């Protein structure tokens, strides 16, 4: 049986195409749809005359399944060119008559594929099949030595995750602002000195990675990205933080390590949902009291700062499971450390500790205790209660012998 496979469009749904079949003129089918109350007319953009049109339609639907609109059987979120390509592929050179009623645009997908080939982008990172490209929600261009990006990447508006880390980007093109569905954007390990304002369009972002760039300041619009749960600013040139960071109250992970910060602004205390905070390698010499309000923290990294003592309010952070205090100038541990009974990792290496207090024995959940390169001369008897220890590091201390209490630590595998 002969019939038609057609593409119908309407201005009221500019991103959608309808792929259907009919044994009568497709214009009559469009006229039927025009009685459904749509403010703009339905128009036939393309049709073919072919044998077994229903079978051809079903094959085309299968080819376009990744562009299916809300599981609607006949409407697809794709350019007309892609729908035509699917119908032609389904017809397998059996087309009797073909009509194109619209002007087709230049196929930017061919240019994108040529760009990917020229830059040796692997097919694992960028598929070469057009329908696969259009259906992508994730694009990973990690480590390709890219110094600029092609404009047609801005057409990949279905993207939810974009990774551009470890390239040579010095600036970001404005068309990336079209990718308004992005939830994950990784720009780490480039050469960015500033962030363009169009980033503020990406209001769906939950993860933003900016580590290992050359940012000296953050623009005010970052405060508009209130959906962010993770913000990585590791190893930039930030000497201060703008107040609008305090608007990002959904943050659970904030990395400010290897910055030029000499103090933490008070608004950081607003970020009470934080579970991970990294401040290693900054210029901090003391911690502000408001940090005691960050009671949801489970991991706190204070490695390689200039702390000579720890403030008592850290004892409020009773949910901590990992505390990194390596490479400071600590000579003793305050008693409140014994309150942190959920700790399973405590790193005190590269300090100036001469002894371990008895309350260390209260940290019975510890699985890893790192004490390398201190000045411990007395045998750390207090750790005899730490029956969950699997790793204990003591090298670089002038300890001549280990206490008999360590014989109780049957789980300890590394000394």
Reported as a single tens digit per residue, the pLDDT across 183-222 is 999 999 999 999 999 999 999 999 999 999 999 999 988 9
Predicted confidence at residue 410, as pLDDT, reads: 52
Q: Which portions of the chain are predicted below pLDDT 50? A: 413
Q: Which residue's entry shows tokens 């990172």?
A: 125
Predicted confidence at residue 408, as pLDDT, reads: 56
Predicted confidence at residue 342, as pLDDT, reads: 97
Predicted confidence at residue 254, as pLDDT, reads: 97
Nearest to 92 by CA among 60, 124, 116, 119: 60
Residue 384's φ and ψ, nearest 5 degrees, are -65, -20
Nearest to 355 by CA among 386, 317, 384, 381: 381
Q: CB within 8 A of 402, min separation 6: which ones? A: 379, 394, 415
Return the H-helix or E-strand segment holding 61.
Answer: helix 53-63
Convert the pLDDT of each residue in 60-104 to its tens digit: 999 888 888 776 678 998 888 889 989 999 998 899 999 999 887
pTM above 0.85, yes or no: no
Q: How many Å apart are CA 380 and CA 357, to the nearest integer?
A: 8
280: left (phi over 0), alpha (psi -120 to 50) or beta: beta
Predicted confidence at residue 36, as pLDDT, reads: 67
Predicted confidence at residue 406, as pLDDT, reads: 61
Q: How many Å apart are CA 218 and CA 220, to the nearest integer?
A: 7
Instruction: Give the percent of the chain with pLDDT over 70.
Output: 95
CB atoms within 10 A of CB 23: 10
Beta-strand ranges (E) seen in 106-164 are 138-140, 161-163
Q: How many Å apart are CA 371 and CA 104, to the nearest integer?
A: 69
Predicted confidence at residue 403, as pLDDT, reads: 64
């Amino acid at each position: 049986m002969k019939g038609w496979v057609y593409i119908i469009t309407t201005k009221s749904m500019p991103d959608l195409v309808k792929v259907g079949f009919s044994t009568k003129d497709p214009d009559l089918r469009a006229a039927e749809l025009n009685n459904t109350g749509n403010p703009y007319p339905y128009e036939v953009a393309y049709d073919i005359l072919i044998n077994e049109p229903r079978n051809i339609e079903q094959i085309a639907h299968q080819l376009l399944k990744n562009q299916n609109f809300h599981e609607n059987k006949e409407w697809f979120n794709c350019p007309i060119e892609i729908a035509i390509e699917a119908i032609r592929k389904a017809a397998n050179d059996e087309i009797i008559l073909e009509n194109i009623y619209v002007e087709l645009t230049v196929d930017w997908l061919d240019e994108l594929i040529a760009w990917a080939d020229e830059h040796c982008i692997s097919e694992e990172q960028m598929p070469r099949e057009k329908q696969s490209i259009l259906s992508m929600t994730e694009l990973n261009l990690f480590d390709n030595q890219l110094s600029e990006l092609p404009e047609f990447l801005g057409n990949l508006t279905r993207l939810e995750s974009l990774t551009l880390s470890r390239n040579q980007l010095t600036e970001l093109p404005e068309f990336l602002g079209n990718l308004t569905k992005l939830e994950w954007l990784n720009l780490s390990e480039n050469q960015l000195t500033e962030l363009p304002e169009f980033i503020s369009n990406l209001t769906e972002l939950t993860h933003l990675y900016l580590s290992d760039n050359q940012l000296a300041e953050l623009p005010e619009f970052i405060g508009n990205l209130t959906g962010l749960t993770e913000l990585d600013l590791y190893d930039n040139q930030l000497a201060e933080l703008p107040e609008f960071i305090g608007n990002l109250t959904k943050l659970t992970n904030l990395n400010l390590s290897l910055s030029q910060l000499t103090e933490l602004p008070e608004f950081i205390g607003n970020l009470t949902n934080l579970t991970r905070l990294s401040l290693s390698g900054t210029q901090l010499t003391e911690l502000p009291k408001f940090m005691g309000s960050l009671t949801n923290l489970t991991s706190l990294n204070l490695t390689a700062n200039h702390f000579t003592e720890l403030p008592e309010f850290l004892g409020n952070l009773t949910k901590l499971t990992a505390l990194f205090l390596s490479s400071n100038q600590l000579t003793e541990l305050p008693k409140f450390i014994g309150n942190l009974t959920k700790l399973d990792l405590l790193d005190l290496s590269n300090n100036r500790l001469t002894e371990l207090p008895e309350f260390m024995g209260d940290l019975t959940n510890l699985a890893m205790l790192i004490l390398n390169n201190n000045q411990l001369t007395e045998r750390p008897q207090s750790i005899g209660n730490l029956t969950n220890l699997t790793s204990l590091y003591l090298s670089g201390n002038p300890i001549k012998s280990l206490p008999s209490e360590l014989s109780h630590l049957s789980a300890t595998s590394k000394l």
